[in-house]
C-alpha cells in the first residue's frame, strides 16, 4: 500500500473528527455535537494537523499544538503532540512513525525547541527520542487529613468572579514561571476568561488583607454517589494560602469522605498534610524530547558554571545529532555544535531528554544504555550544565 502525508485543511475536518471519535470517543459518539460553523477556522489557530492518506482515505492523523513551557523564568517554545490516531483498518502497519517524524520536523522549522506529549503507551514514542520526564497525578486524600491541616496566618477566602480572572492568571504565572515544566498558558490556545471560570463548579481565592491573591482552588463538588470533592487545581504562593485552602477542602469534603486532587509530581501541597495519606490513584505520563539543543539550552539559561563537550548520537529525526560544547559562565550559557569528537561522553537522544528535564542522573543513564564514554568528571559536568530540577506541570492535553 502506498501512503502520503500532508497538512490537514478545512475540507478534512469531517474525516479528522470521525477518526478522533472512533479512537477517543470524542466528541461524544452518542451525542455528536453539531457540525462546527463553516466560518470557524480549522485547524484552530495554534494547532497544526497532519494526516496520512491512502488514496483519498484519511488513515492516520496527529496534531501539533503551539505551547510554551516555563523554565525558571525563561520560556521554551514547545510543540505539544496530541490526537495521534490510526484508523482501525490501518493499525499495526507502522504509520505513526513517518507521520510523527514529519510533524516534529515541521515544529522544529517553526522554532519549537522541545516537543512534549501525554502518552497512553510511552513505548510508541521512545524510538523517536521521547522519554518519560514527569506525571500529572490524581491523588486521593481523606477529608479528615485535609481538615486536620494546621491553620496558618490570616487569609481570606472568597469565590472568584469574572473580574478576578487577571489576578487568577497572575497567581498561576507566579507559581509556574519560577519552576521547570509548567505550561505558560499563553498564545492562541490559552483558555478564554469564561472557560477558566466555567471549567469547574467554583474557584475559591485565598487573599491577604489587601485583597491580593495568594492562592486558589478550582473545585467540583461531585455527586453524593461519587463521594468525592475534586480539586482540579490547588495553587498557593504562601504557606498560609495552602493551609487555608486545604482546610476549606477538608470541611467541604466531610460529607463526601475524600478529596481527589489533581497535582503535579512532587507537589508541595503534600507537605501541609499531617498524615501520610497521599494515595496516587492515577498518573498521566508526560514525555519530552529536545528538537533544537543549542536553542533549548540558550532559552533555558545556565545553572552552575564550567564547560563540557559531548556527542548526541542516533537521532531518528536528525535534529540534535552531533558534537557540542556547552560553556556556562556567570549564568550565561553558550552551546555550540563542534566538529565530531572521537572521544568523550556520548548520549542517545533519549538520554538527552532525560537529562535535560532532570529525570535521570548520569549513573542511571549508563544503566539504561543512554550514556557511554566519558568519565566521572564529565558526568558531573553534564549534570551540572545540562540538567535541571525535576519537571512539574498541571495541564494535560
Ligand atoms: C496508538 C495507535 C496510534 C497505534 O497505532 P498503530 O497503527 O498500532 O501504530 P504503529 O503500527 O505505527 O506502531 C508503532 C509502534 O508502537 C507500538 N505500539 C502500538 N500500539 C501500542 C500500545 N498500545 N502499547 C505499546 N506499544 C504500541 C507498535 O508495536 C510499534 O512498535 P514497533 O515499531 O517497535 O513494532 C493506535 O492504536 C490508535 O489510534 N489508538 C487509539 C488512539 C490512541 O490511544 N492514541 C494515543 C496514543 S498515545
| Residue 36 pLDDT class (50, 70, 90 cuts) | low
320, with CB counted inside 10 A (0-12, 13-18, 19+), is: buried
188 CA → ligand 1 middle, Å? 29
Looking at residue 72, its pLDDT comes to 92
pLDDT tens for 118-134 read 998 888 899 999 999 99
Q: Which of 96, 103, 119, 396 to mutate to test the pocket of ligand 1 (most atoms within 8 A of CB)?
A: 96
Residue of the CA atom closest to atom 33 of ligand 1: 94
Half-sphere exposure of 122 (CA within 13 A, CB side): 16
pTM metric for this prediction: 0.94
Whether 31 shows a pLDDT value over 70: the answer reads no
- Which atom of ligand 1 lies at the shortest distance from residue 24's CA? 42
Looking at residue 283, its pLDDT comes to 97
Q: How far apart are CA 32 and CA 136, in angstroms?
A: 29
Task: Report whether 171 contacts 214 (CB < 8 A).
Answer: yes
Smallest Cα–Cα separation from 303: which of 207, 387, 224, 366?
A: 387
Q: In sequence order, what are the beta bridge partners of 7?
A: 50
Looking at residue 306, its pLDDT comes to 93
pLDDT tens for 222-277 read 765 667 899 999 999 999 999 999 999 999 888 778 999 999 999 999 999 999 99
- Which atom of ligand 1 lies at the shortest distance from residue 117's CA? 48
Whether 28 shows a pLDDT value over 60: the answer reads no
Ligand 1 environment, Cβ below 6 A: 23, 84-86, 91-97, 119-121, 123-124
Q: How far apart are CA 62 and CA 82, in angstroms?
A: 6
How is residue 239 written as a grid cell?
504557606
**Mean pLDDT of all residues in 325-343:** 91
pLDDT tens for 284-315 read 999 999 999 999 999 998 777 899 999 999 99
14 CA → ligand 1 middle, Å? 23
Number of neighbours of residue 326 by Cβ within 10 angstroms: 22
Task: Report whether 82 contacts 65 (CB < 8 A).
Answer: yes
Give the chain's mean pLDDT.
Answer: 94
- Which atom of ligand 1 lies at the shortest distance from residue 118's CA? 48
Q: How far apart are CA 325 and CA 309, in angstroms?
A: 4
pLDDT tens for 49-105 read 999 999 999 999 999 999 999 999 999 999 999 999 999 999 999 999 999 999 999
Q: How far apart are CA 115 and CA 123, in angstroms?
A: 16
Task: Report whether 245 contacts 222 (CB < 8 A).
Answer: no
Domains of the chain: 4-129 (3.40.630.30), 137-281 (3.40.630.30), 292-386 (3.30.1050.10)
Q: How far apart are CA 203 and CA 198, in angstroms?
A: 9
Amino acid at each position: 500500500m502506498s501512503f502520503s502525508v500532508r497538512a490537514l485543511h478545512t475540507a478534512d475536518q469531517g474525516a479528522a473528527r470521525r477518526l478522533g471519535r472512533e479512537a477517543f470517543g470524542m466528541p461524544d459518539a452518542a451525542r455528536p455535537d453539531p457540525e462546527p460553523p463553516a466560518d470557524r477556522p480549522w485547524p484552530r489557530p495554534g494547532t497544526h494537523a497532519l494526516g496520512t492518506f491512502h488514496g483519498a482515505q484519511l488513515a492516520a492523523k496527529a496534531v501539533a499544538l503551539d505551547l510554551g513551557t516555563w523554565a525558571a523564568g525563561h520560556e521554551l517554545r514547545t510543540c505539544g503532540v496530541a490526537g495521534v490516531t490510526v484508523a482501525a483498518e490501518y493499525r499495526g502497519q507502522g504509520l505513526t512513525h513517518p507521520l510523527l517524524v514529519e510533524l516534529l520536523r515541521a515544529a522544529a522549522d517553526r522554532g519549537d525547541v522541545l516537543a512534549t506529549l501525554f502518552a497512553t503507551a510511552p513505548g510508541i514514542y521512545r524510538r523517536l527520542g521521547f522519554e518519560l520526564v514527569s506525571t500529572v497525578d490524581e491523588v486521593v486524600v481523606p477529608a479528615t487529613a485535609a481538615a486536620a491541616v494546621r491553620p496558618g496566618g490570616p487569609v481570606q477566602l472568597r469565590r472568584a468572579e469574572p473580574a478576578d480572572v487577571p489576578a487568577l492568571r497572575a497567581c498561576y504565572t507566579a507559581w509556574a514561571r519560577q519552576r521547570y515544566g509548567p505550561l505558560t498558558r499563553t498564545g492562541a490556545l490559552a483558555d478564554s476568561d469564561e472557560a477558566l471560570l466555567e471549567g469547574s463548579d467554583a474557584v475559591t481565592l485565598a487573599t491577604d488583607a489587601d485583597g491580593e491573591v495568594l492562592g486558589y482552588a478550582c473545585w467540583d463538588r461531585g455527586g453524593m454517589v461519587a463521594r468525592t470533592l475534586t480539586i482540579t487545581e490547588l495553587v498557593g504562593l504562601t504557606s498560609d494560602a495552602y493551609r487555608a485552602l486545604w482546610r476549606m477542602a477538608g470541611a467541604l469534603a466531610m460529607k463526601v469522605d475524600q478529596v481527589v486532587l489533581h497535582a503535579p509530581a512532587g507537589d508541595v501541597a503534600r507537605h501541609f498534610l499531617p498524615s501520610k495519606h497521599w494515595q496516587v490513584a492515577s498518573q498521566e505520563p508526560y514525555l519530552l524530547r529536545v528538537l533544537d539543543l543549542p536553542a533549548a539550552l540558550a532559552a533555558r539559561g545556565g545553572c552552575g558554571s564550567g564547560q563540557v563537550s559531548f556527542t548526541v548520537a542516533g537521532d531518528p529525526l536528525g535534529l540534535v545529532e552531533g558534537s557540542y560544547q556547552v560553556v556556562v559562565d556567570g549564568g550565561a550559557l553558550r552551546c555550540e555544535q563542534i566538529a565530531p569528537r572521537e572521544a568523550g561522553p556520548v548520549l542517545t537522544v533519549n538520554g538527552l531528554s532525560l537529562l535535560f528535564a532532570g529525570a535521570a542522573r548520569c549513573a542511571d543513564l549508563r544503566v539504561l544504555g543512554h550514556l557511554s564514554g566519558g568519565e566521572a568528571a564529565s558526568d558531573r559536568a553534564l549534570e551540572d550544565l545540562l540538567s535541571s530540577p525535576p519537571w512539574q506541570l498541571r495541564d494535560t492535553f
